[in-house]
Amino acid sequence: MLSPRFLLLRSAVSLSCRSFCSGGASKPGRAPDMIEVRNRLREIVGASTNWSDHQQAMADRVSLSSMLAKSQQDLPARRMKDSYLEVHLPLGSEPQLREKYLTFHNTVRFGRILEDLDSLAVLISYSHTYNSALKRSPLSIVTALVDKIDMRHHVIYPDCDIKFSGRVTWVGRTSIEAKMHMSQYRDGAYAPVLDATFVMVARDPENKRAAFVNPLKADGPEEEKLLQEGEANKSRRVELSTASLLKVAPTDDERKIIHSLFLNTLDTNTVSFRSRVLPPNSVWMEDAKLKGLEICHPQERNIFNRIFGGFLMRKAYELGWANACSYGGCRPNLVAVDDILFQKPVEIGSLLLLSSQVCYTQGKYIQVRVHSEVFDPLTRQHNTTNVFHYTFISDRDVPNIIPKTYGESMLYLDGKRHFNQTVEP
């Protein structure tokens, strides 16, 4: 008999997903795994399995444009339970799968978990927008933002089964908020590991223009609360982007912090603005960078023939982790991920430059920002595609990071803002 942890909570959605992708159906009575999730996604959009067929697959999708709703009111409202999904990652029971997830230190590669969360968020969004009258979805659903990932348990064990669950908790006109949870089976029960909130955006079949998504109806006070939180999240995002240090000056308090850091680095012998001295137990920001390059091969493509967002998150996470590790001098644990912005799609064949910077420190905490940009070697143009923010904790106090230039001071303040948002004072 199957153990209860293998049993799928059968919602209308998991069934609807199954009829969406008959070929990728999961075994009866068992939650789908990540391979099935990705196979379903390929079927939902009609993605090519071979790169040589990708142009034909994209051309086939163009004809689906006529299936798009002209307005959101034309689409039936959905409940949260309609998009509820559970997915199983059998690390405990399938040792061959474990290899893909294993770190040298016998923990789970968090970058792989980011990939899984991304795929799940997309399938949840397709479940919300499912139309039984259509064989394929005309929507191209992409990841716009990883709003937040809160770690509730720092260690993920490589030999225990994992369960993901999630559903749509808020929708705009063309955007969808999906909340997901991950738990791990230990000592006879599933214990929470992390909570994640992603924002997905629906686009037309060619991924060129925004497309409407089904409205969402709350069922009962708990769902009402989730909807209100989604609305508040949207307002918070707008506020944050308006107050971005790339647009407006820092607040009075922030200016005082920067000035005090500056005064701390003045050379008392020369009393000059130009000669700067690194205070004890500190590191200049310019000495806390780590860079990497990825050549974006077809293997890493998503269902829309762009680079898979989860792959970008994994690469950025691993670079950020290595930087935090080198900075703190020991292996750090992840505390939170927040505000990962997918500004532009990354095309297959791109040269992707990743640059990580320790931008804020406090006690044992290390805040790392990873910036990614595509570089066109022919025109020599650089274009930012993503910005990632990770908060790590070391097992000992780390040196203070000190900005030298005005630009670095803004990175420091931005890092502090992210830190304060993710870690309770």
Number of other CB atoms surrounding residue 335 within 10 Å = 20
- Is-contact 314 364, C-beta < 8 A? no
Q: Draw the binding track, 95-134, toward ligand MFK (x: CB under 6 A; -: no contact).
A: -----------------------xx--x------------
Q: For residue 25, give every residue at least 6 positions away whose Cβ sits within 8 Å of its Cβ, in sequence order, or none.
A: 18, 36
Range in contact with ligand MFK (rule: CB under 6 A) among 35-43, 214-222, 325-333, 415-423: 35-43
- Is-contact 335 392, C-beta < 8 A? yes
Q: According to CB under 6 A, which residues from 135 to 154 bind ligand MFK?
A: 142-145
Q: What is the rounded CA–CA span in Å between residue 187 and residue 184?
A: 10
Chain residue whose CB lies nearest ligand MFK: 172
At 86, the amino acid letter reads E
Q: Which spans in 70-203 are helix H?
A: 95-101, 110-128
Residue among 118 and 254 whose Cβ is closer to ligand MFK: 118
Q: Examine residue 211 and tell whether it contacts ligand MFK (CB under 6 A).
A: no
Output phi, psi for 370, to 5 deg: -120, 130
Residue among 42 and 186 whose Cβ is closer to ligand MFK: 42
Q: Examine residue 315 and tell whether it contacts ligand MFK (CB under 6 A).
A: no
Q: What is the rounded CA–CA span in Å between residue 187 and residue 166?
A: 23
Residue among 41 and 108 whose Cβ is closer to ligand MFK: 41
End-to-end CA distance of the chain: 48
- For the bound state, the minimum distance from the C-beta of residue 288 to ligand MFK, rounded and expressed in Å, comes to 27
At 224, which helix (H) or strand (E)? Answer: helix 221-242
Q: Examine residue 306 and tell whether it contacts ligand MFK (CB under 6 A).
A: yes
Range in contact with ligand MFK (rule: CB under 6 A) among 27-35, 54-62, 319-327, 338-346: 338-346
Select the residue interacting with ligand MFK from 174, 265, 400, 421 (CB under 6 A). 174
How many residues bind to ligand MFK according to rule CB under 6 A?
29
Q: Examine residue 285 and tell whether it contacts ligand MFK (CB under 6 A).
A: no
Q: For residue 228, give every residue at least 6 positions away whose Cβ sits within 8 Å of its Cβ, in sequence order, or none.
A: none
- For the bound state, the minimum distance from the C-beta of residue 240 to ligand MFK, rounded and expressed in Å, comes to 10
Q: For residue 90, give every residue at least 6 positions away whose Cβ sits within 8 Å of its Cβ, in sequence order, or none.
A: 33, 97, 161
Residue among 145 and 398 whose Cβ is closer to ligand MFK: 145
Antiparallel, parallel or unpaired: β 175-186 and 189-203: antiparallel
Q: What is the rounded CA–CA span in Å between residue 140 and residue 132?
A: 17
Q: Examine residue 340 and tell whether it contacts ligand MFK (CB under 6 A).
A: no
Residue among 5 and 301 whose Cβ is closer to ligand MFK: 301
- Tell me which residues touch ligand MFK (CB under 6 A): 38, 41-42, 118-119, 122, 142-145, 172-175, 199, 201, 203, 210, 237, 302-303, 306, 308-309, 341-345
